[in-house]
A and B are shown apart, each in its own frame.
Chain A
């Protein structure tokens, strides 16, 4: 009974990263110019700007029939890429996958929905896009409508739907697929909590019928609830496979081992390297190096970078973005918003500091990404540059803490009676 339905062997996928170019497609004129240039100048550096990047690197694992497998990992770990290859949307660069069974994938809710068409029409359209035939859709039509709870608006164009209704309808169609293998990317993040519960329940039922489910999510609770097995991916490689509880806890802790904040030899980055972040240090205001920040204490984030010798740096724009342990963006610091763009950087300077008074995050582990442009051109962009550990601190100077589960952000406020009293 427990035969292998998906066998992934040494799967790799590479992309060519083109620096200084934001679009993945090119224009013909550009290609012609480059080609001619390389004809006339054979050792031209034009291929310097193209860099091979492995979105998946030697991934191997098996999935047995009826298993519910969760795939976790930080942004850019290669989860969606893996699902896309499994769904035959993109081709692998190396390796081999054998799949035994009818596959349906749900990489996005409501793919192919057309805003001008009514809910009824979109059920048929979306159903056929997901691989159902007309009889199948007709047979399940009433069930789909009941699940979506949008009966009254069936003949309204979906552009008039609220975003919640839209998601409900779209998920309702997908939930009635009857494949042997169901592949689901981060799609539950949308929709309200109750509907998410309903969807998870539906997915559980689906797998109860002996179907295999592959499920990507940043929601650890959902993974724990639904999946018995989990795969932890990191920078394109499988870091750990096993019992979902164990994998999740390794994943949540594992990120602090990642805190070697030496960035010089990271190459999963893009930009023209006019500056290139080399290391990050946490400091206090007197310049002492810290292992972690503390809520409510003044903090200094010191960013060091490499630069091209003798070349001046003009209009340096830097952004630092923070994500929580579930990959949700918490906030973002940016010297453009604060009108603090550096018009020019002295020749012998290779660091900038961000001063953050009374560090406002609750205790926990936060990932940050770095981004810099020089003179309007992307210089360096490093996703998940590192993690910052934040310890509990006395933010409110009362010795009391915000209870767990009450959010991550701390800010100053005062309770008062209106002045007339």
Chain B
């Protein structure tokens, strides 16, 4: 019986935190399962939604940036494929980020009535976004068929960049989720970040436009690559567009470092505040 011996004291760090998290993986699975069930039950055309929304945006971006704005494409890849390679990770990030940032508030009755490592709640919401992402992947395949485009071997490295996108979404999501419990202003910050992020991330255009532009000073280029989604999207394009796009290595590495920094910051702040969630929420 001493296997379950626990001591509850103020302020003590739970030394078994990560083991506890592992023991509660069943709950993680069920919460993700619940969110998926609910998501596809409540909408009439369910799965179609996860395809329709990014598809329409891709069409609009292609028309606005390429046909009207005259933005150049990467190499000779159709512009729509380039937009799609940026749109899919962006959609994933924005939904994973906003869902996890709101998840604690949305599950406040769980938080005040049962014990479990709180990290499970924001983490499980990312799974729904992941499923959406996988479904919306058919758009990319559709575009490949339509334009008769064959990607090279690099596309096999895509999961790595998906992982990077997940790290970015989790890090920022955890941080905002914890802040959101205490300061409800962050409810309004979340859509703002998502919208603002879309403007400063290379979704509708190619990063090479920024990096290769002579009139943009170097420090602005570094500032640009501080946005972790620049690294994610550039990575996606590098995998999908193959030799048609060049990866800006220093900018890319900077983005990765920022992503990982965010993850540590997010986890640190989350763990620091999670003990008082049930008191405050």
Please give the residue numbers on chain A whose beta carbons come within 8 Å of chain B beta carbons, in ascending order. Answer: 15, 23-29, 31, 84-103, 105, 107-108, 111-112, 114, 116-117, 121, 124-125, 128-130, 133-134, 180
Contacts and interface: CB of A to CB of B under 8 A. Distances in A.
Contact of A117 (B1, B10, B29, B37): B37
B222 to A, nearest CB: 29
Contact of B30 (A25, A31, A101, A129): A129
21 contacts: A24-B280, A25-B181, A25-B182, A26-B183, A86-B8, A88-B8, A89-B114, A90-B278, A91-B11, A92-B8, A99-B4, A105-B115, A111-B113, A112-B113, A114-B34, A117-B38, A121-B34, A125-B33, A128-B27, A129-B30, A130-B114
Contacts of B109: 108, 111-112
Q: Of B8, B185, B278, which is in contact with the most chain A CB atoms at under 10 Å from its CB?
A: B8
Contacts of B185: 27-29
A180 B1 contact: yes
Given A87-B115, A121-B37, 18 more contacts: A25-B181, A26-B184, A28-B186, A88-B8, A90-B275, A91-B10, A92-B8, A92-B9, A111-B114, A114-B38, A116-B37, A116-B42, A124-B30, A125-B30, A125-B34, A128-B29, A129-B114, A134-B26
B41 interface: yes
- Interface class of chain B by DSSP: helix
A80 to B, nearest CB: 10
Interface residues of B, number: 40
B125 to A, nearest CB: 14
B195 interface: no
Contacts of B8: 85-86, 88, 91-92, 96-99
Contacts of B33: 125
Contacts of B184: 23, 25-27
Contacts of B280: 24-25
A100 B34 contact: no
A79 to B, nearest CB: 15
B11 to A, nearest CB: 8
A361 to B, nearest CB: 35
Interface in B5-62: 5-11, 26-27, 29-30, 33-34, 37-38, 41-42
Contact of B4 (A26, A27, A125, A180): A180
Contacts of A24: 279-281
A200 to B, nearest CB: 21
Nearest to B6: A99
Nearest to B39: A116
A105 B112 CA distance: 12
Contacts of A28: 183, 185-186
Contacts of A31: 183
B155 interface: no
A414 B191 CA distance: 64
A94 B10 CA distance: 6
Nearest to A5: B1
A194 to B, nearest CB: 26
Given A116-B38, A129-B110, A91 B183 contact: no
Please list the 7 inter-chain residue pairs (A to B) with the smallest Cβ-Cβ separation, ordered nearest first.
A128-B30, A28-B183, A97-B8, A88-B115, A28-B185, A111-B113, A91-B275
Contacts of B27: 128-129
Contact of A89 (B6, B10, B38, B113): B113
Contact of A100 (B5, B41, B116): B5
B8 to A, nearest CB: 4
A182 B37 CA distance: 31
